[in-house]
Amino acid sequence: ATTPEPSAPSTPAAPPGATAGLPLMDEKDPTAGALGYINDGTKVDKVKYPKYADGQNCSNCALYQGAAGSAQGGCPLYPGKNVWAKAWCSAYAKKAA
Ligand code: SF4
């Protein structure tokens, strides 16, 4: 039998419907503050969060619900909000490859 050609991947830019249109997390939100959420994951305070490693951000966190390549998406820790793909918080858990 011949193997059918894999269908072309859909565009990764479209945000997932489940999290589209949600307001973005505010760093000043009490929940964000408690978990050290920061919009720019390259600016994490490494003294305060020694477990942070370069390159970590929401887009490669196991909890991030945005589609691959999306700029923002949901996170179960912040219900009703979107987080930036480039953000980070202390609940970061590396996504399995
Ligand atoms: Fe980002 Fe992961 Fe923290 Fe959610 S748990 S805000 S996806 S780093």
Note the pLDDT tens digit of each residue in 20-64. 678 999 999 998 999 999 999 999 999 999 999 999 999 999 999
Assess whether the C-beta atom of 87 lies below 6 angstroms from ligand 1: yes
Question: Average pLDDT in the 58-86 region?
Answer: 95
- Look up residue 12 and give its two tokens: 């990764």
Assess whether the C-beta atom of 25 lies below 6 angstroms from ligand 1: no
Whether the CA torsion 75, 29, 17, 11 is positive or negative: it is negative
CA distance 89 to 36: 5
pLDDT at 97: 76
Assess whether the C-beta atom of 44 lies below 6 angstroms from ligand 1: no
pLDDT at 3: 65
